[in-house]
Structure 1
Amino acid sequence: MAVVRKSPAAAERQPVTVSFAGFNRAWAAWIGDRLERHGHRVSFQRWDPPVETPLEDSLRDLLLADGRVLLILSDWYFQLGPRSHDDWNKALRAVVVPHTDRFAAITVTNAAMPTATAALNVAELGAAGPREAERRLLARLGTPYSVTPSTAAEPTGPRFPRDQPRVWGGVPRRNIRFTGREGLLSEIYHQLNQAESAAAVVTLLGMSGVGKTQTAAEYVYRFGSEYDMVWWVPADQRGTLRQRLAELAPALGLSAGPEYGERLRAVHDALRRGTPYSRWLLILDGADEPETVADLLPSGPGHVLITSQNRDWDEHNTSLVEIPVYGRDESVAFVRRRARRIGPHEADLLADALGDLPLALDQTAGSLNDSTMPVPEYIELLRNGADIEVGLKVAADFPMTYYTAFSILLNRLRESVPEAVDLLRLCSFFAPGPVPLGLLRELPARDLPEQLRGLMDDPLRWTSSISKLVQYSVVRTENPQEGTDEPIAGTEVLHLHRMVHQTVRAGMPDEDREEYSRVARRALANSDPGRPTDTRLWPRYAELVPHLEASGSLTSTHGAVQRLVMNCLRYLFLSGEYRAGLQIADRVAPAWRELLGPTHPRVWDLAYHHVNLLRVVGRYSEAERLDRAAVDHLRAERGQQDLDLLRAATGLAADLRALARYDEALQLQQTVLDEYTELVGEQDSRTLGALNNLAVSYRVLGRYEEALEMDRRALEARREHLRPRHNWTLFSEINYAWDLRLLGRYEEAISIQEQSVTAHQDVMGSDNPQTLRAEHNLAMCQYRLGERARAMTLLADTLERCERVLGDEDPLTLMAASSYGCMQREHGDLDLARHLGERVLTRYREMLGHRHPYAVGSSVNHALVLRAAGERQSSEMLIEEALVTMADTVGERHPWTLGIALNASATRNLAGDPEGAADLSRKTGRLAAEMLGARHPLSLSCQVALAADLRALRDRQQADKVEEAALSALSATLGPQHVHTISARSRARPFWDFENHAH
């Protein structure tokens, strides 16, 4: 919100809104003061347009202000965004040129500006003195110039930006690449100015390299014009601080003796009294030991700004302002200013690898700017622990690398609290970010290094060690139970920044690394709940998974650690974290084959979970190759009746279904079910899983009644032997409702699926893939039942979450996109339907080939869009080609083929071939009745289509007879007001949408 400054003469001149980049705040303050002195009412708008907002819109927003809009132009004004000069020229021509009466501009830079700024008739203030700058400013606004009282007579006014305060010492040069921190700078300003007299002390607190000093320096340059004295003091040593404070005495013109003590007393007294200057700012930089320097802080009407890593300043009457790492947008903008050759995407990758730490970004981007090394290659070196410190580019004002600076702090901690560093080392073998300290507290003492045993057993030492790390901003902690009356001991979480993590590990001897790594692995294995299928335990697995790689668990030979890895993979699969699971499996598979041998039982276990992940993301050919190799080997080695073989064969059958080898999959799945039944019994969970999979095989073959019977048996058994809300039980509910829907029993299907969706959301969460699958089925049930608006709303939300959680090319996303495209074609946006349909069709063809049923069926959906768009010839060709291909692939009796035939009969009728259309409609109706039953919606649609074809052949008597029978059956099965019934009654030609079946 703009801040309005009022003046007694405000009514005499038009209002002016000053638009400025934060970097130029001092100019804005001075310009506002000058304009107010000449009768203008002034308000301020800091220019910081969001990247996602078009530049034209941000400029138009300025026109909402009253009066003139004065732009303070500089490099920084144009860089915010960041935007190119071409972007600016386009925006200026679109917004400013038509409103030159509303805009005015001054410039405070000599750098080249976008050419379209010529329309603003820019006044140059940068090289002028105060009086000439004021004259040019007023002339640009058409305000008569008159000499105002001198600044000396009115000491409260802002100083001319190019004039330093009367006393100025030790301030670092301004960082021209300073980025962001706008909110922090405003907070510091308000904290200092709103503090009570003699208590305006603010400490900028943060970890090493986070930019505390740079933020303090930028504060000086932005707000320095409001002070008469600015004095910057290094405060890491008491002696240095005393010396620099004493040097203020002659700078202030104080009469004091040559001794430091006398000068210090004189300086403190002058600052306290505010003579000769009451507007003073003292900066204590690097004051990391408050107990040694706190007594030297002056009091008085001025302001004190401290930078420190030490949280203990909170005990010395200062306000703490935490300086966090950069936000990602700030990081990307900074890297691109530091290294022009790095693009936005690579800047984002680098920022992520360096944890958005400003000093690390500065030194690394500076190094990369002077080299040709690709950013991804550098990041890989960083992740592999390569020694890259020697290549970092340091600055004159901070002539050491981040690693060196942090190592100095660690050495200081080791001297005072060595057990804190030992704890930090152990934590570095967990992943950067949150480290659950409870995992460590649960370990038996015998599993701990000797130097940590006493620490774990002594609550006071434990608390002291963590407090010391927090005190020096090395880590931060939080308690997950925060907000409760009694936080649970041992549940606190320690947050370890990525660069702290890397530096601690890099400086550790090899023998210590192995020891701490082993302890971390034991802590993780000790915390394994052992039941990844239990959704109630998923939060614990989510806590463990991030630490597998950092702890060395992925390459461990310890049995308990390997079981943990396997359970984590199972959890990732069930919870829908497929990409994360694949990353782990891809790394573990070759490591275990080398460690254990290619035929070790645990390698087969891993292969099973690995293949499940490959299959669920659509990498079917890879999955089939691995599963077939496992089946062949296990059958040859162990014979047919082996549980590992049956598990591998289950996976192979799923691969074959995905690759549309349906008959082969059915035969294999039946064998698996028979063998499981014989080996472990009908009620074993593995047998029920095989029964579920056999139902899927029947479903994809279009044998819906048989699929329904098997899914009913599996659902009843799972409800009895597992929890009713177990995720496998819920999965059986989806399948059973799916079968009912495919059989046209929509009311029954929706009654089951509505309740199941609620249970899924409660048990598994709204973003779990199984929940998304349940919601997709519910939307399809609603749509088939005629609840079109509800269905489209639900499916739109489901598709958005599929895209966000799983990605655009995930099989589940493609299924949802295909269904939503069909709905949009019939009831919504034809362009969106075409876009979605083409995207799905292209991806299926790439992933599965042109002759796969999913690709063929998707081409039919696309053909219907083309027909609706008036492209009938292209639509006809696609449908006729699809009919032949689908019949060759799955047979002419399959419901998919019959559905395409229904569409093809309409195409032939429209093309002027009523005889061919009627013949096809008769055949399709007969086969549909045999396959699905005479009263199935598809069979009845074929009868409605036949009536239309007979009418085109002028056989109206037979047409009316067929139509009357079809309408009677539709009314009886779906209801007289169902959309299909109404559509048939109005003699609208029926059509069929392809929908793939979940595997």
Structure 2
Amino acid sequence: MSETRTPVRPTERGAARQTVTISFAGFNRAWAAWIGDRLERRGVRVVYIRWDSPAEESLVDLLRGLSLAEGRILMLVSERYFQLGPRTFDEWNAALREVVAPDPTRFAAVSVTNSPVPAAVAVLAPVDLTNMGADEAERRLLDRLDLPDDGRQTAENARGPRFPAAMPEVWGGVPRRNTRFTGREPLLNSAYHLLQNSEPGAGVLTLHGMPGVGKTQLAAEYVYRFGSEYDVVWWVNAESRVTYRRLLAELSTKLGLATGDEYGERLRAVRDSLRRGTPFSRWLLILDGADEPDQIWDLVPTGPGHVIITSRNPEWGEHNSKLLEVAVYDRDESVAFIRRRAPRLSDADADQLAQVLEDLPLLLDQTAGWLNDSDLSVEEYIELLEDGVDPDVVKVSADFPVAFQTAWAILLNKLRETVPESVDLLRLCTFFAPGFIPVRMLREMSHDDLPEQLTRLLDDPLLWNKAINQLRTYSVVRLESHEVGVEETPSPGESLYLHRMVHQIVGKDMPEEDRRDFIDVVRRALAEADPGRPTDTRNWEAYAELVPHLKYADVLNSTDRKVQLLVLNCLRYMWWAGEYTSGWKLGRRAVTAWRGLLGESHPRVWEATHHYANLLRSAGRFAETEELGRGAMEHLRRERGERDLDYLRAANGLGADLWSLAKYDEALTLYQWLYPAYRELLGEQDSRTLSALNNLGFVHRLRGQYEEARRIDQETLETRRLVLTGRHLFTLFSEVSYSVDLRLLGRYAEAESIQARNVREYRNVGGKGNPDALRAEHNLALCQLRTGDRASAGTLLTQVLEGYERRLGDTHFGTLAAAVSHSCFNREHGDIDLARETSESVLARYEQLLPDGHPFILGARANQALILRNVGEREHAHVLIEQALADMAEAVGEEHPYTLGCAVNASGLRNLIGETESAAELSRLTIARATDTLGRTHPLTLSARVAYAADLRGLRSRQQAEKVEQEALSDLEATLGKQHVHTVSARSRNRPYWDFEPQAS
């Protein structure tokens, strides 16, 4: 028997286009969006109606109301459509036969489920769209609605929603869909519209609310409902900065980004890719559990995509995020959820239970789950709640409703009675960080000398799985894989997810004896999971997983040497990986704890102090590090004397603080003492002796004593070549230092020759993205610029800056030095607007990092004055350079090359605004000082001489100007060559200028 179908009809209002009204359950929104898009591409007008089924209204009335919708009504058949209410199949069968059967032409249907549905759905003649590709599904849809497949969909290039059965091109870390998810329709719609209507770069939304309200579940449901509109969906546990950085960095491989192995570099590449929207502009990033905005707000990507944050903390609103509060369930939602979770309960039971549990989703989930398996009536359960179980449990946190705490005590008793080992496992989990618990570490650790109850649990796979399954049954834990991109079901017990709320409750409700035993077991598990060698990037993922658990296992109060070694290795890892802020905070706590535990002078206290100082210094907190270093030196000097190696190491670190704070004279005095001390104790060829000698040379360079720095760096280089071979990283580092000295002395060709070979060696030995290799490439670019190869220099400077930003961040001294060079290059040979933007950014970062009057701040202002000069803001430029000159002279002295360079630029601006006599006098003084400091033929001295000739011409002293100019040209030709860019420029009577170049060690 054939079936006759009526085509889609125009609406009764006479609309020009055919209309289809799509009726769908919110759970199936992705299908509705895809179907609607397919129809609209054929000119069909689509109306969307999300189906709801309030319990107080009859299904017959609801369906009659739906039949009044415009055009033909297309119902999306799924189990969720018929479960709303919840309604029985008998109710649905009766309603469908009464409303739909008499007029089947008003309705059509497609099925997007394989689950059982009411029998009377047959009157809708649904066509199945599951288990097939998009093309076949579209063909069936059009056939069901009697629409021609005229190819109109290919006429539009707009990217529509993805076929719901197809995953986004990049997908990772997303929890499995909660098939019991209930309600929240207004929140989901609000979240969608807030993100869709946001300005580009501002699509950040925070779902905030108290623990247990279902923020994570809401975010996951958003992903499944709207994920088809994105090309990239990436879920990240953001409870700690370390974990967040690691998991976000994993996206780099999925995006096909070319980066090194170090995840700090991959993280910056990911952020840059998302910001630019390449290779994907439609991306969705979920940061789950980001309760501390101060830890990660600076790492939240911007760009054309969207970010959803789940957090208890509404302070995200202060970090350019829209806020959407997630409250407890509405009562109807609570009742519907309980009925789905515990079908044996009636509507009245569910309503009564929801009232006493305050509609809190997590508590409803756990309570309804075990009530469904229990003989206990709701009234009996409520009696237990009212009587109270354990008054101590009620005091856990002001965040938690009293009902939750009391109900949890009841549930805990239930667990003890059924599978007591599940409580032991749960208590072990509380000594890991909440969230993903790497319980595999417990299985992999040595089980010798464990408490008997835990030995049995960890050694018996059947008992282990039984304990886990019991916790899962009552929604105490989720079985998840926290490995990004893994879609298959994880092995039982490999990774459990424990809600923060449950974590805190269980942690409080624990006998002291168990607490001591269990925390010791977790500490041992963490220590045995330490891979060692924190400098090896292949181990960084393991360390990133370990670090968040240190706090909860209270490792700093352990006297176990292996546990303390774990802490030291984590500090080293955090320094190498660029986790400076989190690292110095851990270091500070370790030093404080171990001083009390081990004593002031214990070797591990000084080891922790050393790593703490390194992290603090790398975070740019130089004043604090200086105070720490001075205190350490004073204490060690009193305790051990000045020949102690820990004392010398503290002094070496203090020297770095001193030069970072521009206390160059004090740093010089320190290294002039430290180098001989190391040499006497360890010999001339020891690595620590050579490190002190290297630092001595660097301080001379900072003081502008370039020839002395060259002599010392050459000595260090030759000794390292002898002791370590020419390709050792320390040798290559010294080679760069020597080349920098040669360049600063004006020996450009020699410097470039050494540096070009050095860069090739670095790329062979350390890889192109290595920070020391970037330092080498930066110097090569500056050598190329000085020798006139501007094209190569410009390309390399851009690559170096990008490399530094990816690897070390925006505020590292190496990054800032590269940004300074990049800005100066663009000022003269590229984009003046980019030069100005970069210069202003560098200056702001220096002012944030360094004390007032620091030479790097003053030098950056001198560079800024040249930009202002070039864009015509002469008066502003003149004021800025004069102030920089005066401040620089005060900071480093009148004869320092920094001051001499500022003077060259200041004389030029004086000349430009008509102060010719003042310009000439300044140029004359600069020549005298530069000759004394650098020599008559140093490039900076020659620049001053060329400038002076121009000033004399301005004063109409032509004969004297000619004499000064010819002498300067003659020296330029002799020193740099007739065709050198500086010589050619001077011959063309272009006024010379000086670029400030900060020295990064």
Normalised TM-score (structure 1): 0.62
1:393 aligned partner:
328
- Following superposition, the deviation at residue 860 of structure 1 comes to 1.1
Q: Which of residues 886, 889, 911 in structure 1 aligns to 2:888?
A: 886
Q: Which of residues 525, 540, 553 in structure 2 aligns to 1:523?
A: 525
Cα distance between partner residues in 2 of 1:737 and 1:762 = 19
Q: Which of residues 561, 565, 568 in structure 1 aligns to 2:570?
A: 568
Asked if the contact 1:443/1:523 (under 8 Å) is kept, the reply is yes
Say whether residues 1:494 and 2:511 are aligned partners: no
2:510 aligned partner:
509
User: What residue identity is the alignment partner of 1:509?
Assistant: M
User: What residue identity is the alignment partner of 2:699?
Assistant: S
Cα distance between partner residues in 1 of 2:533 and 2:27 = 59
Q: Which of residues 886, 900, 903 in structure 2 aligns to 1:901?
A: 903
Q: Note closer, same or farther for the CA distance 1:702–1:498 as it changes in structure 2 (3 Å cut).
A: farther
1:622 aligned partner:
624
Cα distance between partner residues in 2 of 1:971 and 1:917 = 25
Say whether residues 1:322 and 2:257 are aligned partners: no
2:923 aligned partner:
921
1:95 aligned partner:
none
Cα distance between partner residues in 1 of 2:733 and 2:880 = 35
Q: Note closer, same or farther for the CA distance 1:938–1:345 as it changes in structure 2 (3 Å cut).
A: same
Cα distance between partner residues in 1 of 2:520 and 2:940 = 63
Map Cα deviations across residues 281-304 of structure 1 (whole Å, 9 max, x no partner).
9xxxxxxxxxxxxxxxxxxx9xxx
1:857 aligned partner:
859
Q: Which of residues 990, 996, 1000 in structure 2 aligns to 1:988?
A: 990
After superposition, where does 1:524-563 map in structure 2 within 5 Å? 524-533=526-535, 537-563=539-565
User: What residue identity is the alignment partner of 1:868?
Assistant: N
Cα distance between partner residues in 2 of 1:70 and 1:623 = 67
Cα distance between partner residues in 2 of 1:973 and 1:73 = 80
User: What residue identity is the alignment partner of 1:393?
Assistant: V
Q: Which of residues 212, 216, 225 in structure 2 aligns to 1:357?
A: 216
Cα distance between partner residues in 1 of 2:779 and 2:530 = 34
- Following superposition, the deviation at residue 839 of structure 1 comes to 3.8
Q: Note closer, same or farther for the CA distance 1:901–1:23 as it changes in structure 2 (3 Å cut).
A: farther
Cα distance between partner residues in 1 of 2:117 and 2:543 = 62
**Matched-pair identity in %:** 45
User: What residue identity is the alignment partner of 1:816?
Assistant: A
Q: Note closer, same or farther for the CA distance 1:631–1:15 as it changes in structure 2 (3 Å cut).
A: same
Cα distance between partner residues in 1 of 2:438 and 2:425 = 13
- Following superposition, the deviation at residue 620 of structure 1 comes to 1.9
Say whether residues 1:158 and 2:73 are aligned partners: yes
Aligned-residue Cα RMSD (Å) equals 5.7
Q: Note closer, same or farther for the CA distance 1:418–1:644 as it changes in structure 2 (3 Å cut).
A: same
Asked if the contact 1:825/1:865 (under 8 Å) is kept, the reply is yes
Q: Note closer, same or farther for the CA distance 1:132–1:463 as it changes in structure 2 (3 Å cut).
A: closer
- Following superposition, the deviation at residue 541 of structure 1 comes to 3.4
Asked if the contact 2:213/2:327 (under 8 Å) is kept, the reply is no
1:829 aligned partner:
831
Map Cα deviations across residues 183-219 of structure 1 (whole Å, 9 max, x no partner).
xxxxxx7xx8xxxxxxxxx9xxxxxxxxxxxxx75xx
- Following superposition, the deviation at residue 956 of structure 1 comes to 4.8
Q: Note closer, same or farther for the CA distance 1:517–1:395 as it changes in structure 2 (3 Å cut).
A: farther
Cα distance between partner residues in 1 of 2:733 and 2:659 = 18
User: What residue identity is the alignment partner of 1:476?
Assistant: E
Q: Note closer, same or farther for the CA distance 1:403–1:71 as it changes in structure 2 (3 Å cut).
A: closer
Cα distance between partner residues in 2 of 1:843 and 1:758 = 32
After superposition, where does 1:16-35 map in structure 2 within 5 Å? none
Cα distance between partner residues in 1 of 2:33 and 2:621 = 64
Map Cα deviations across residues 230-269 of structure 1 (whole Å, 9 max, x no partner).
35698xxxxxxxx956777777889xxxxxxxxxxxxx99
Asked if the contact 1:19/1:44 (under 8 Å) is kept, the reply is no
Matched residue SS, 2:73: coil
Matched residue SS, 2:495: strand
Cα distance between partner residues in 2 of 1:19 and 1:868 = 63
Asked if the contact 2:329/2:361 (under 8 Å) is kept, the reply is no
Q: Note closer, same or farther for the CA distance 1:876–1:534 as it changes in structure 2 (3 Å cut).
A: same
Cα distance between partner residues in 1 of 2:486 and 2:537 = 24
Say whether residues 1:476 and 2:480 are aligned partners: yes
- Following superposition, the deviation at residue 495 of structure 1 comes to 6.0
User: What residue identity is the alignment partner of 2:177?
Assistant: I
- Following superposition, the deviation at residue 581 of structure 1 comes to 1.1
- Following superposition, the deviation at residue 950 of structure 1 comes to 3.9
- Following superposition, the deviation at residue 937 of structure 1 comes to 2.7
Cα distance between partner residues in 2 of 1:518 and 1:458 = 21
Asked if the contact 1:575/1:764 (under 8 Å) is kept, the reply is no
Asked if the contact 1:331/1:348 (under 8 Å) is kept, the reply is no
- Structure number with greater CO (CA < 8 Å, separation at least 6) is 2
Q: Note closer, same or farther for the CA distance 1:581–1:907 as it changes in structure 2 (3 Å cut).
A: same
Map Cα deviations across residues 641-691 of structure 1 (whole Å, 9 max, x no partner).
222221222222222212222111101112111111112222222222212
After superposition, where does 1:442-841 map in structure 2 within 5 Å? 442-446=444-448, 448-454=450-456, 456-457=458-459, 474-477=478-481, 494=495, 496=497, 499=500, 502=503, 505-506=506-507, 509-511=510-512, 512-533=514-535, 537-598=539-600, 600-718=602-720, 728=730, 731-750=733-752, 773-796=775-798, 798-799=800-801, 808-841=810-843
1:239 aligned partner:
none
Map Cα deviations across residues 741-798 of structure 1 (whole Å, 9 max, x no partner).
3233445545555666677778877777556545544443443343434444444455
User: What residue identity is the alignment partner of 1:357?
Assistant: T
- Following superposition, the deviation at residue 990 of structure 1 comes to 0.8
Q: Note closer, same or farther for the CA distance 1:424–1:785 as it changes in structure 2 (3 Å cut).
A: farther
- Following superposition, the deviation at residue 857 of structure 1 comes to 1.4
Matched residue SS, 1:347: strand
1:207 aligned partner:
none
Matched residue SS, 2:905: helix
Cα distance between partner residues in 2 of 1:464 and 1:723 = 60
- Following superposition, the deviation at residue 446 of structure 1 comes to 1.6
After superposition, where does 1:72-151 map in structure 2 within 5 Å? 134=70
2:206 aligned partner:
347
Cα distance between partner residues in 2 of 1:902 and 1:469 = 75
After superposition, where does 1:36-51 map in structure 2 within 5 Å? none
Asked if the contact 1:331/1:358 (under 8 Å) is kept, the reply is no
Quick check: 848-857 or 969-978, which moved more? 969-978
Matched residue SS, 2:551: helix
Cα distance between partner residues in 2 of 1:784 and 1:248 = 83
Map Cα deviations across residues 712-737 of structure 1 (whole Å, 9 max, x no partner).
44445556656877765554454344
2:954 aligned partner:
952
Matched residue SS, 1:874: helix
Quick check: 417-426 or 981-990, which moved more? 417-426
Map Cα deviations across residues 808-838 of structure 1 (whole Å, 9 max, x no partner).
5554443333333322322333344334333
Normalised TM-score (structure 2): 0.62
User: What residue identity is the alignment partner of 1:876?
Assistant: H
Structure 1: gaps (5+ residues): 37-41, 46-64, 77-125, 135-150, 152-156, 160-164, 166-188, 193-201, 203-215, 221-229, 235-242, 255-267, 282-300, 302-319, 363-372, 383-390
Asked if the contact 1:696/1:707 (under 8 Å) is kept, the reply is yes
Cα distance between partner residues in 1 of 2:33 and 2:655 = 76
Cα distance between partner residues in 1 of 2:642 and 2:800 = 42
- Following superposition, the deviation at residue 935 of structure 1 comes to 4.2
Map Cα deviations across residues 306-364 of structure 1 (whole Å, 9 max, x no partner).
xxxxxxxxxxxxxx9932899xxx999659999xxxx99893677999995136999xx
Asked if the contact 1:437/1:493 (under 8 Å) is kept, the reply is yes
Asked if the contact 2:212/2:501 (under 8 Å) is kept, the reply is no
Q: Note closer, same or farther for the CA distance 1:27–1:17 as it changes in structure 2 (3 Å cut).
A: farther
Asked if the contact 1:432/1:495 (under 8 Å) is kept, the reply is no
May I ask how many residue pairs the two structures share in their alignment?
750
Asked if the contact 2:479/2:492 (under 8 Å) is kept, the reply is no
Matched residue SS, 2:552: helix
Q: Note closer, same or farther for the CA distance 1:802–1:22 as it changes in structure 2 (3 Å cut).
A: farther
Matched residue SS, 1:857: helix
Cα distance between partner residues in 1 of 2:761 and 2:429 = 38
Q: Note closer, same or farther for the CA distance 1:704–1:476 as it changes in structure 2 (3 Å cut).
A: same
Cα distance between partner residues in 2 of 1:971 and 1:376 = 57
Q: Note closer, same or farther for the CA distance 1:516–1:16 as it changes in structure 2 (3 Å cut).
A: farther
